[in-house]
A = this chain, B = another copy of it.
């Protein structure tokens, strides 16, 4: 270790040098009951006890931010292999009244069929539930803004990426997929145009979904190989 480095560390790590804490907060989206919904946990402890908040964890010294997000995801939902992506980093001074916490937010998209409501844990937050983004309860910290930001990110990315597929299972019908798009975009789409747009991203199976009192719809899968 060089002399300058020793110098640096001595000065930097001195006891009176304060560091902010770093947390990862997750915005877990899914679509249920034809609504975009977010996972929230009920806070048991101060501050904002009784209010709802995004699930989050403190970032450990031995894990990257992505790993922390994945760990939080797994702890809260038991899920792995879920699409997630960093959203934004929030650093206002009084986000958390206890102390300075910088929050790196992530969002994730969970297919409805993979949701097992998280079992109660021994953490401070015992209750967890999905809420429609249009009818959120009062939220702790700046979490309402984080959700709004994630909502916006998705609305933008739907048009030029395939993230919408992250919200359906392996197999799906086109009316189902279209509904996902409509919910994410917040507007209705024309059937014929929608199909033309995604035609090169899907593969038909020979299965049909029947049982409704109308014509059955074909079941598709996402095209895997690179076109």
Q: Report whether B65 and A102 are in contact in the complex, using a CB–CB cutoff of 8 Å.
A: yes
In the complex with contacts A9-B98, A98-B5, A88-B86 CB distance below 8 A: yes
Q: Report whether B65 and A89 are in contact in the complex, using a CB–CB cutoff of 8 Å.
A: yes
Q: Name the B residues within 8 Å of A21 (CB-CB).
A: 12, 19
In the complex with contacts A2-B46, A46-B5, A89-B89, A59-B18 CB distance below 8 A: no
Q: Report whether B62 and A91 are in contact in the complex, using a CB–CB cutoff of 8 Å.
A: no
Set B5, B59, B92: member contacting A91, Cβ < 8 A: B59
Which of A18, A20, A21, A98 has its CB near the most chain B CB atoms (within 10 A)?
A20
A193 within 8 A of B: no
Q: Name the B residues within 8 Å of A88 (CB-CB).
A: 86
- If over half of A's interface residues share one DSSP class (helix, strand or loop), that class is named, otherwise mixed; here it is loop
CA distance A219 to B102 in the complex (A): 45
Q: Report whether A9 and B99 are in contact in the complex, using a CB–CB cutoff of 8 Å.
A: yes
In the complex with contacts A19-B19, A65-B91, A86-B89, A59-B102 CB distance below 8 A: yes
A8 within 8 A of B: yes
Q: Name the B residues within 8 Å of A2 (CB-CB).
A: 46
Q: Which 8 A-B pairs have the closest CB atoms?
A: A65-B91, A2-B46, A19-B19, A89-B89, A5-B46, A4-B45, A18-B61, A89-B104
